[in-house]
Amino acid sequence: MTALADLRLDIRSTLLTPPPALDHVLPGLLAGTVGVLVAPGGAGKTMLLTQMGCAIACGQPILGGALTGSNSSPGKVVLFLAEETAVIMHHRLHGATQQLKEGMASQSRESLQALLEQLDSQLSVYPLGGHGSLVHFGDGTSGYRQLVELCMGARLVVVDPLRRFHDGDENDSAAMTAIVTQFQRVAYETGAAVLIAHHANRVSMTSGGGEQAYASRGSTALTDGVRWQANLSPVSESLARELGIEKSELRHFVRLDVPKTNYGRALGTVVLRKVPDSGAMELWVPETLSKRAPAARTELAGTSRVRR
């Protein structure tokens, strides 16, 4: 057992050595920390998380580079998906990998085979639909230990959705703080960034405040406890007009905001379009920007496309 005295920082050594580079798995989300993706039901969070996982597993840019971290080397990714079945994930993985293929410089047989081998070795997907009780975050439970063992050495661990992995009261700050602490233990023990999917509260969706930090359902202890939060929310009609999106097409668009990032610069609003057939997300750039040179579009991919 670690004694409190053992955790005292060596001030002399700290000040005489340069700080190590911060390892961002996603912009602002560090390895070994906990983040949350907040979204209403049906917004596409599971598909987005699947695409993130596939891209990180094979070292490809995430959404055209808009969400790529500081290290683009292939890394181990583990997805625990409590509401999805193997059949549904079969479809989602085809949609996610199709987006990756379209973004590859070469689509030769050798390149596609290398992509398949990379995903097979680095990506672990656990569709727990109908088996949610297999993983519960009670302190010291066999399910918890099993989860940690599966995640050792991972770069990213996804838990989707939070509600299916605990029995606590979401409105109780003590209960939610304890849950965040448990996920922080997973991050610490495995070295992975742990990204939790959680549902948005009704007020944030009806008032158009999906980009606000306190958009998550239940106690604010969840937002307070995590180090990074992203929100997926509908594109409002006013924003659609500003960006030139037709009202009839609004159902295909969502916005991604990062209202909380403790360890990095704020990320501007990212607008995503859902591919109708697969539901996969693609980075969307207004037509006025899409006509610019590729270098300009790349520069804009990680910055806000919304001017206020």
Chain-centroid distance, C-alpha 235: 19
Is residue 83 in a domain? yes
The number of residues making up the chain comes to 308
pLDDT of residue 145: 86
Number of domains in the chain: 1
Is residue 71 in a domain? yes
Is residue 215 in a domain? yes
Chain-centroid distance, C-alpha 289: 26
Beta-carbon-side half-sphere exposure of residue 40 (alpha carbons within 13 Å): 16
Is residue 15 in a domain? no
pLDDT of residue 299: 39
Domain region containing 44? 24-234
Report how far residue 286's alpha carbon sits from residue 306's, in angstroms, rounded to the nearest whole number. 10
Is residue 302 in a domain? no
Is residue 157 in a domain? yes
Q: Tell me which residues of the chain have a pLDDT lower than 70.
A: 132-140, 205-210, 287-308
Q: For the segment 31-72, what is each residue's pLDDT rounded down to a tens digit?
A: 999 999 999 999 999 999 999 999 999 999 999 899 999 988
Q: For the segment 158-206, what is each residue's pLDDT rounded down to a tens digit?
A: 999 999 888 889 999 999 999 999 999 999 999 999 999 999 998 776 6
Is residue 297 in a domain? no
The burial class, CB within 10 Å (0-12 / 13-18 / 19+), for 284 is: buried
Chain-centroid distance, C-alpha 91: 20
Is residue 203 in a domain? yes
pTM over 0.85? The answer is yes
Give me the DSSP letters along the chain.
---GGGG---HHHHHHSPPPPP-EEETTEETTSEEEEEE-TTSSHHHHHHHHHHHHHHTPPSGGGTT--S--S---EEEEETT--HHHHHHHHHHHHHHHHHT-S---HHHHHHHHHHHHHHEEEEE-TT-GGGS---TT-HHHHHHHHHHTT-SEEEEE-GGGG--S-TT-HHHHHHHHHHHHHHHHHH-PEEEEEEEBPHHHHHTT-TTSGGGBSS-THHHHHSSEEEEEEEPPHHHHHHHT--GGGGGGEEEEEEEEETTSPPPPPEEEEE-TTT--EEE---HHHHTS-HHHHHHHHTS-----
pLDDT of residue 266: 81
pLDDT of residue 60: 93
Domain containing residue 68: CATH number = 3.40.50.300
Tell me the residue type at 132. G
